[in-house]
Chain A
Amino acid sequence: MTDERPSDRDERDLLAAEHALGLLSGAERARAAALARSDPEFARLAGRWAGRLAPLLDEATPVAPPARLWAAIEARIGAPAAPPSNVVLLRRRTIFWRAYAAAATAIAASLAFILVTRPPATPPVQPPPAGAPLAATLAAADSPARLVATWEPASRSLIVAAAADMPSPAGRGHELWLIPAGGKPLPMGMMPRGRPMRMHVPGGMALREGAMLAVSVEPMQGSPTGLPTGPVIAAGMLKRV
């Protein structure tokens, strides 16, 4: 940069960018880290760079983590290096376990229910109450894949579990789609391998009776187009349980 030498102000902002991106090593890195701790203005510049680049993170496809991870996090948090009083700690742990146990019980109950019963083949006579749980059996004529999905509106919890082998070519995964009645497919994220997909779905998503859920084979990072690109190996309609 001999012909366009940055100003002192730019030099400082560039150091902040280098710190935010992690470009530095050794002594330079330690110096920038120390500056970020001691100089709020420098920290603000670094934070500004982190904010500028943060939209890149939207490129990452959401993937439901394994269900056991939450228990691991709770265990790490429940035993802090310098614990507060035992009473506070116990109370905290109780709150955690209560929330976790309630969620786990609800999931187990709904899955067990789905696996031993079938969604009704005919629509119910009564219109369903607004908060009624829904379920779908996902299958396709030319595919061995078979999944069950349950939707709990009260907790906005969607669970999709494979009930049979899920064929997928090497290096590819399964993406879940929601297809609202009369709408186009909305990506719901890549499904984890070998375990149920569990997700909390924000309000406003059209998870209603009559909407379809579908699973397609996609690159591991998810469909590049935002619409299914691979074969749809299973699909089914959400119905009242």
Chain B
Amino acid sequence: MILAMDQGAGELARLMAAVSAGDGSALADLYARTSAKLYGICLRVLGSEAEAEEALQEAFVAIWRRASSFDHSKASPITWLSVLARNKAIDRLRARRPAAETIDAAHEIADDGASALDLVEAEEDRARLSHCLDALDDQPRDAIRAAFFDGLTYQELAERDAVPLGTMKSWIRRGLLRLRACLER
């Protein structure tokens, strides 16, 4: 991937620090360096340019406000930014779904962003994660991927696959424990 940000991880970390200090030109620079990757993530989740544009705007507003909560010792800047963009895209996906949560609940999720803020990255890379996902049975793997990219809940996944809710939960929870064991091996 051309925008291989790891080359510029130190520069991105410097920009994040400047952004958290309220430096607008640093945000402009951060945008120039990362917007293609983050927009690609929003497009992958939302499948619509108009929606992805909105999600990317929301992501950068959140970056501006929350850059100070980025912890360089826990995750690389580009991973933190990517997860934040994914979460913003998933929020939008949910908001437009007919069976969406109430607006208050959606706001609550959108505002907490805990999973992005406290992101902890280990040494796992894409190849290792792929290997461990491939080792799962088809149903849990597909369900975990659909939750990650399409924002589907247990309830929605159970309806999609026409299985009882308890069965879907059991597949995914067992899959997650196996995934964790494989990644920590």
Contact = CB atoms under 8 A, between A and B. Distances in A.
Interface string B27-71: 111011101110111011000000011001100110010000000
Contacts of B23: 95
A18 B115 CA distance: 11
Contact of B43 (A60, A74, A76): A60
B36 A65 contact: yes
Interface residues of B, number: 79
Nearest to B184: A52
Nearest to A13: B180
Contacts, number: 218
A50 to B, nearest CB: 4
B17 interface: no
Contact of A54 (B24, B79, B153): B79
A66 interface: yes
11 contacts: A23-B147, A36-B115, A37-B114, A46-B118, A54-B79, A56-B148, A63-B43, A70-B28, A74-B28, A98-B25, A99-B25
Interface stretch (A112-120, A122-130, A195-203, A233-241): A195-203
A65 B124 CA distance: 29
A59 interface: yes
Contacts of B75: 51
B7 interface: yes
Interface string A9-53: 010011001111111111001100100110010011011111111
Nearest to A64: B36
**Interface-centre pick from A62, A99, A221 (highest chain B CB count, 10 A):** A62
B74 interface: yes
Contact of A96 (B28, B176, B183): B28
B95 interface: no
A221 B1 CA distance: 13
Given A54-B82, A56-B148, A92-B22, A44 B120 contact: yes
Given A6-B173, A50-B83, A61 B120 contact: no
B41 A57 contact: yes
A169 interface: no
Contacts of A199: 3, 36
B103 interface: no
A69 B57 contact: yes
Q: Mostly helix, strand, loop or mixed at chain A's interface?
A: helix
A29 to B, nearest CB: 7
Contacts of A36: 112, 114-115, 118
A73 to B, nearest CB: 5
B86 interface: yes
A77 B37 CA distance: 21
A21 B129 contact: no
A57 B36 CA distance: 13
Nearest to B126: A55
A4 B157 CA distance: 22
Contacts of B114: 19, 33, 36-37, 43, 46-47
Interface in B125-142: 125-126, 128-130
A189 B36 CA distance: 8
Nearest to A97: B24
Contacts of A52: 122, 124, 129, 179-180, 183
A108 interface: no
Contacts of B94: 22
Shortest Cβ-Cβ A-B pairs, 5 listed: A47-B118, A36-B114, A60-B44, A55-B126, A62-B36
Interface string A58-91: 1111111110011011101100000000000000
